[in-house]
Structures are given as structure tokens and as C-alpha cells.
Amino acid sequence: MKNILITGASGGLGKLTTKYFADNGWNVIATMLDLHLADDLKAYSNVKCYELDVTSTASIERAKQQILQDFATIDVIINNAGLGYRSFVELAEDSKIDTIVNVNLLGVIKVCRAFIPVFRAQKNGMFINISSVAGLVNLPLGNFYHATKRAVESFSECMSYELLDFNVSVCTVQFGNAPTNFQKNVAQCQISEITSYEEMKCKINTILTKKTKKNKDLTCKIIAKLYDIAENPQKSFRKYTIGFDANFMKYLRRILGYRLFNKLIKRIVLNK
């Protein structure tokens, strides 16, 4: 049986992916902040849970040592842990900026840094870094989330060159708004007295809510694709785009260029 490590496995896409891999015969190393959230995973004999805070080097190292005692090898790591923050730059809070950068970007970096030696010693392994359509295009009110996901894209591609000689592959996965708990837990800036800000936030929230409800089958497609990627690793760096929304936005941005794309978003989304 192959072994896969998944961060942020206590809920949302992470937990669903954990169950899918377990149901399909993989051993799953499910890592999370709070082990109390893993009660429903105890029914799986091939799922083992570990406490791991992706923002803490010490926590990652503790979990790593425990994992390596239990598993001789790790075949795949999915850097799934992530969160959202929807805010105007002017109204952003230091603590929330720090948190989203620490989780979405530095968390990926720190987990990769910790487990590269494991993959290198094995002469085999794969990092699947979860990105987003936000890593491909820039949209209103996505300042901090988009910045972290774009950075994950750049980091992953750069890292892939370093690992070629060790048979360690790297890929990123982008998709749109999937109907999981992620969207419900997105932090937002405080209500503002600035009319323009409140009107824009209302428009964006409405659009994203509608999009999420329409994407009923997207979560299943994402999980199935993650499984396919893990089962069929490619040596060269790859970017996998899943779902109509993400693919449409990717090609639209590529065809129009940034100026026309920016103009289109202002007209359609913001009525400007």
C-alpha cells in the first residue's frame, strides 16, 4: 500500500480527500491542528492522525518524527491546509494578514522543507501543492488570498528544478469555489462606513455565493483528480486546473492579456 500525507485533514476538502484515498487502498497520514476533529476518521484502519501546525517548524518536526516511526516511506504529500481572507487593503488587520501568509504560503514552504530530505533519501516522492484559480488570475477583494496562492505557484515551480535529480516531482492544483466548509470559514474585514467598499463587498460576496452553489460536482472532481495525480506522478512540473470556472478564467486571461481582462472584470463584476 502507498502512503500519502495530507495537511489540513480535519475538515473540508482535506477530510474528504483523506476518506477517498483510504477507501481506495492508500494509507493516509492525516495531519491537523486539532485531533478532536478526527473522530469520524477513527473508523478507517488505514488512516492515522497526527497533530501538526503548518505554521510551526517545531510542530512539523515533532509530527515528522512520529510519522517516520510509523511509516517507512511516504509516497505523496498534499499541502492542503489553507484559509481565506476577504478584505480591502486599507481595512486589513495585521493578525489576519500574518495568519493567511503563515498558513497558505509559509506553511507549504515549511512542510516541503521538512520532508524533502525524506523524499531525497527515498529517491522518490511527490508534492501536490493546493493552489486556486486565485493563483492564476487576480480578482476584486482577493488581495491577500490571491497573493499567497500566486506565491505558492512560483515557489512550487522553482522548487521543482531543485528536486529533479532525486526523482521528486512537484505539481500545483487550481480550482474555483468548491462547496466545502472553506467558503463558510473565510474571514472578512469589518463593516466599513465607506460606501464604495461596502457595495463592492456585497457584490463580490453575492457572486461567490452563487458560484459556490452552482459548483455542486466540483468537489468530487477535485478529489478524483488528486487521486489520479497521485497514482500517476509526472516527473516534470505540472499545473492541473480543475473545473469550468478555473479553466475558463485561465484561458480568458491568457487570450485577453492583463489590460483587457482587467477591463472586463471591472465591467462585468463591478459595473465600472
Mean pLDDT computed over 172-195: 80
What pLDDT is stored for residue 75 in this prediction? 98
Q: What is the pLDDT of residue 95?
A: 95
- State the cell numbers at 165: 535529480
Sign of the CA dihedral with 46 first, then 50, 53, and 54 last:
negative
Task: Indicate the average pLDDT of the chain.
Answer: 92
List phi, psi (to 5°) of 11: -165, 175
Does 216 have pLDDT greater than 80? no
pLDDT at 203: 84
Question: Is the separation of the CB atoms in 6 and 15 below 8 Å?
Answer: no
pLDDT value of residue 134: 87
- Per-residue pLDDT band for 168 (boundaries 50, 70, 90) equals very high
Q: Which are the contacts of 94, defined by CB distance < 8 A and separation ≥ 6?
A: none
Cα–Cα distance measured from residue 250 to residue 255, given in angstroms and rounded to the nearest whole number:
9
Torsion angles phi and psi, residue 171, rounded to 5: -145, 160
pLDDT digits (tens, 9 = 90+) for 32-41: 999 999 889 9
- The CATH code that applies to domain 3-244 is 3.40.50.720
Beta pairing partners, 48: 29
**Residue 211's pLDDT band (boundaries 50, 70, 90)?**
confident
Beta bridge partners of 32: 51
Strand partners, 160: none
Q: Residue 183: what pLDDT?
A: 67
Nine cell digits for residue 72? 517507512
38 torsion bin: left (phi>0), alpha (psi -120 to 50), beta (else): alpha
Residue whose entry in the numeric block shows the C-alpha cell 460606501: 195
Say which residues have a Cβ less than 8 Å from residue 37's Cβ, sequence separation at least 6: 10, 11
Task: Catalogue the long-range contacts made by 163-166 (C-beta closer than 8 Å, 24 or more residues apart).
Answer: 163/116, 163/119, 163/120, 164/235, 166/119, 166/120, 166/123
Cell, residue 219: 468537489
Beta bridge pairs of residue 238: 171
Arithmetic mean of pLDDT, 11-40: 95
**Statement: residue 192 has pLDDT above 70:** yes
Every domain of the chain and the residues it spans: 3-244
Residue 182 has pLDDT above 80, yes or no: no
Position 184 scores a pLDDT of 67
Q: What percent of the chain has pLDDT over 70?
A: 98
How many other C-beta atoms can be found within 10 angstroms of the C-beta atom of residue 266? Answer: 12
Confidence band for 181, pLDDT divided at 50, 70 and 90:
low
Q: Per-residue pLDDT for 136 more than 90? A: no
pLDDT (tens digit per residue) in 37-90: 988 998 999 999 999 999 999 999 999 999 999 999 999 999 999 999 999 999
Cβ proximity of 92 and 144 under 8 Å: yes
- Residue 45 vs residues 33, 41, 227, 230: alpha-carbon distances, Å: 21, 9, 19, 20
Measured CA to CA in angstroms, residue 103 lies from 45, 53, 155 at distances of: 29, 9, 14
Residue whose entry in the numeric block shows the C-alpha cell 516522492: 125
As a whole number, mean pLDDT of residues 227-240 equals 95
Q: What is the DSSP string of 222-241?
A: HHHHHHHHHHS--SS-EEEE
Q: Residue 236's pLDDT is what?
A: 93
Q: What would the pLDDT profile of 85-122 be if each residue is shown by its tens digit?
A: 999 999 999 999 999 999 999 999 999 999 999 999 99
